[in-house]
Amino acid sequence: MRNLVLLLFLITTISVSAQVLDNPENINPLETGEKMPDVSIKDLENNSVMIHDIVSKGSSIFLFYRGGWCPYCTKHLSDIASVESKIKEMGYTIIAISPDSPDKMKATLEKTELTYNLYSDSDGKLIKAMGIAFKVSDGYKKLLDEHSDGINEGLLPVPALYVVDNKGNVKYRFLSPDYKLRISSETLLKELEKLN
How far is the CA of 162 from the CAs of 6, 22, 40, 67, in angstroms?
A: 33, 22, 17, 17
CATH code for position 146: 3.40.30.10
Confidence (pLDDT) at 7 = 37
Q: What is d(CA 57, CA 190) in angstroms, rounded to the nearest whole number?
A: 23
**Closest-CA residue to 130 (of 18, 16, 52):** 18
Q: How many helices (H) and strands (E) does the chain have?
A: 8, 9
**Amino acid making up residue 133:** A
Whole-angstrom CA distances from 157 to 7, 12, 90, 183, 190 are 31, 24, 27, 15, 25
Pairwise CA distance, residues 21 & 28, whole Å: 10
Report pLDDT for 196: 86
CB 27 within 8 A of CB 124: no
Domain of 131 in residue numbering reads as: 2-195
**Which pLDDT tens digits describe the chain residue by residue (196 residues)?**
544 433 333 343 343 345 676 777 878 899 999 999 999 999 999 999 999 999 999 999 999 999 999 999 999 999 999 999 999 999 999 999 999 999 999 888 877 778 889 999 999 999 999 999 999 888 888 989 999 999 998 999 999 999 999 999 999 999 999 999 999 999 999 999 999 8
Residues 68-113: tens digit of each pLDDT: 999 999 999 999 999 999 999 999 999 999 999 999 998 888 777 7
Tally of domains within the chain: 1
